[in-house]
Amino acid sequence: MLMNGAQALVKSLKSEGVDILFGYPGGAALTLYDALYDSGIRHILTRHEQGAAHAADGFARATGKVGVCISTSGPGATNLVTGIATAYMDSVPVVFITSQVATGLIGKDSFQEADITGITTPITKHNVLVKKPQDLLKCVKEAFYIARTGRPGPVLVDIPKDIFAAKMDFTYPETVKLKGYKPIFAGEKCKVSLVADALAQAKKPVFFIGGGINIAGVSEEFSRLIEKTGIPVTTSLMGMGGFPSDHRLNLGMLGMHGTYAANQAVTQCDLLIGVGVRFDDRVTGLVSRFAPNATVVHFDIDPAEINKNIKTDIRVVGDLNWSLSQLNSIITNPDISDWQCAVMKWKQERPLTFDEDTREIKPQSVIQEIDQLTDGNAIMVTDTGQHQMWTAQYYTFKKPRTLITSGGLGTMGFGLPAAIGAQLGCPDQLVWAISGDGSIMMNCQEIATAAEHNLPIKTAILNNKGLGMVRQWQRMFYQKRYSGSKHERGTDFAKLAEALGAKGITVKSAQELRPALEEAIKTPGPVFLDIWVSEDEDVLPMVPAGAALDEMIGG
């Protein structure tokens, strides 16, 4: 069947199961947008290309499907860069389709030309500039295959405008064969046996789970492993929801703002089993004193992560669906009753706490109130900063894919557009966006997108009149020299929300908090709560940069 390249691309997207995408049009993309007009694919017009990138990312994280984002050439493509890097750092499968100037104009500094494949090479799993019409369908097929297989990640396909217009027969490839790309699904059984032997001998074992648990969809398999063995569990930020936060063996988050029990358990354990983790610097603290007495085991699908940050004694490379089921089938119950008692004592005696105050709103109490009102069953999407850590600490994540946050890149402005993507991907679930007065302004224009589609997102802005995490570090380590971290003139976020078509509520006292949250949940459509919280509240506990995990402040 003869059609133009844009029509062939749209048909390719439908072949991949795409029924919604996010984007922003422009001159080089007009032929593509004309093909989308009556395609049946729902296009969400965001108010900025970065918003489209984060929305596609949030959709992918919430659903487990491949997100799709499209843009025009030049500035349209470069505006995606932060969103692409965010997805790359957290292994999120998104296909970015950028338009490019015509092939005969490439390399001539043409109007709205940018070398987007060169720009994004370090922050994509794969990218390609389509140079010939006959290569288009093959490149699209490979893009989706690479994005979703192995360790997922973003893939960018850059398509010149003349290829959109070129006539071609539609024959979509059924299979993909890529020289040098062999996603690992099954590894070596003997390595799993070594882990089982190590567990049988261990007296103080701990599991440390990361985002790979959620990505691989192995939460139930992992839970069976823990119920069978009784081994305590700690999580990274990205691993939250992979094992229920309210389970008695869950010690909480590990690392810089982790719990006392989690940090102590890893410091004192004799066997540390990392599952789908990167051993990020925010988790390890001082590397030379991280799990100093432990044999370290690392389960991961990506061999590049093994020994990258922490020296590993036993490595198991392969898909977690394969490796965890193998381990479950051969493991025996270790004798660790004394160790269980010790970690449970730490958990009970040193829980996360904060000073209650009836005069002003404590940010931790906002998260606790939302947790109680939702029974831990909402999808929580955060920006980056203090509010992100308080959400991780005080919300009860019971299910996978219910914390959506920028863990690796730490992107301010991620939360609201990612919540839009999550809500569109999971329309029957309650979605909360948690932000700060700094982060929300990064992509506040997407309030209009949420309002246009009447998306029932509830956004809590923890407004402390400045850049909270920056101020915390300045307070703790820079002698309270608050340089560039104070909003001298505050923003009325309720009025901003109303101006962009959403409902806005201002909350200034502790007595107003619960009724306002209840009103937000009952109100159809998007609601933005401007919640005035304590200005000098710190995220505690905290392990200072360069310190070991057992050198916590306020733990």
Edge-to-edge strand order for the sheet containing 295-300? 250-253, 233-235, 205-209, 271-275, 295-300, 314-317
Kindly name the residue from 16, 49, 305, 446 that is annotated as catalytic.
49
In the prediction, which pLDDT does 490 show?
A: 87
Give me 115's structure tokens: 């070398």
Encoding tokens for residue 372? 């109680």
What is the mean pLDDT of each successive set of 10 residues along the chain, which is 555 residues long? 95 98 98 97 98 98 98 98 98 98 97 98 98 97 98 98 97 92 89 97 98 98 97 98 98 98 98 97 96 97 96 97 96 93 97 87 97 96 98 98 98 98 98 98 98 98 97 96 91 98 97 97 98 95 95 86
Q: Please check whether residue 363 is in contact with residue 354, taking contact to mean a CB–CB distance below 8 angstroms.
A: no
Q: Which listed residue (89, 253, 442, 469) is catalytic?
A: 469
User: Catalytic: 112?
Assistant: yes
Q: Helix or strand or coil: residue 64?
A: coil
Cα–Cα distance list, 159 to 138, 238, 348, 464 (Å):
13, 33, 57, 44
> CA angle 302-307-312, nearest 5°?
105
CA 513, 515, 516, 518: dihedral to nearest 10 degrees?
A: 120
> Tell me, what's the pLDDT at 356?
83
Catalytic residue among 125, 161, 204, 458: 161
CATH of domain 189-349: 3.40.50.1220
pLDDT digits (tens, 9 = 90+) for 401-412: 999 999 999 999
**360 a catalytic residue:** no
Q: What is the pLDDT of residue 538?
A: 96
Task: Give me 411's structure tokens.
Answer: 């992107």
- Residue spans per domain, the chain: 2-169, 189-349, 363-532
Q: Please confirm, yes or no, whether 414 is among the known catalytic residues.
A: no
Question: What whole-number distance in Å separates Cα of residue 35 and Cα of residue 315?
Answer: 48
Which architecture does CATH list for 363-532?
3-Layer(aba) Sandwich (3.40)
Q: Which of 3, 11, 14, 112 is catalytic?
A: 112
- What are all long-range contacts of 104-108, with beta carbons under 8 Å and residues at least 24 apart? 104/162, 106/160
Q: What CA–CA distance (Å, rounded) separates 201 from 270?
A: 10
Q: Is there a catalytic annotation at residue 469?
A: yes
Q: Which CATH superfamily includes the segment(s) 2-169?
A: Thiamin diphosphate (ThDP)-binding fold, Pyr/PP domains (3.40.50.970)
Residue ranges in 375-414 assigned as alpha helix (H): 386-394
Q: How far apart are CA 53 and CA 266, in angstroms?
A: 36
pLDDT at 555: 61
* 522: amino acid identity, one letter: K
Active site residue 161: yes
